[in-house]
Amino acid sequence: MNVFEALESRYTCRAFKPDRIDREKIMEIFSAANRTPSWANTQPWEIYVAGGEVLEKLRQDCLERFRDGVVANADIPRAENWPPVIEDRMRQLMAARMKDLAIEREDKAARQNMIENNHRFFGAPAVAYLCMDRSLTTWSMHDLGMMSQSIMLAAEQLGVSSAIAYNLVIYPDLIHQALEIPDELSVVIGIALGYADPDSRQNHFRSPRRPVNEVIRLKGI
């Protein structure tokens, strides 16, 4: 598999098999991703990977909080307001997913189950949490974004599916406690890792992309 093939084949996996990932394979993924560039070689990322009983307890604790209606309190808050064109893309995505899963607007139970799937971490056997020092700025956030892509492409190369998701990090105090993450680190984002369940309808959907000529503007080329 080359880079172009990995970029084309990778998608957000929303249903994983329970099969664990070998420790050696996890280390192979992160050893490759460790070549990610960063501003002035700062390498601002600190990465914690949870699996086994540690992840299962964290999964249950986060799901329980969500069911209790505890408001999300991520270390890096999500945006509250989006430009209209971006908000429209988000609405179109949700509508397309509902249609693909054959979930009617009035089917509250099915919609709730779909939402809770996020808080079950999609059933993934491992989750990587990318952290950085709280004193750092959005310049370092860009570096963590590049590291995230490197992790997911390396995983794809080795047949490991991934899902990067905000809902994996909305209760950071639980993550700090479970993984003994120092207080000076922010939990920025989580990446679920594992082997996709090909029989799950959750994994049949592919989100669309804008035509590249709408994305890039060429001048003098």
Look up the pTM and report it: 0.94
pLDDT of residue 104: 87
Domain 12-207 is found in CATH 3.40.109.10:
yes
pLDDT of residue 121: 97
Look up residue 48 and give its two tokens: 């914690």
For the chain, the domains span 12-207
pLDDT of residue 216: 95
pLDDT of residue 36: 98
Per residue in 33-71, pLDDT (tens digit) is 999 999 999 999 999 999 999 999 999 999 999 999 999
Per residue in 64-94, pLDDT (tens digit) is 999 999 999 999 999 889 999 999 999 999 9
pLDDT of residue 58: 97
pLDDT of residue 113: 86
Query: Which residues, 6 or more positions from 189, have their beta carbon under 8 angstroms from its beta carbon?
Result: 76, 129, 130, 144, 148, 164, 165, 166, 168, 169
* pLDDT < 50: residue spans in the chain: none
pLDDT of residue 111: 85
The pLDDT mean for the chain works out to: 95
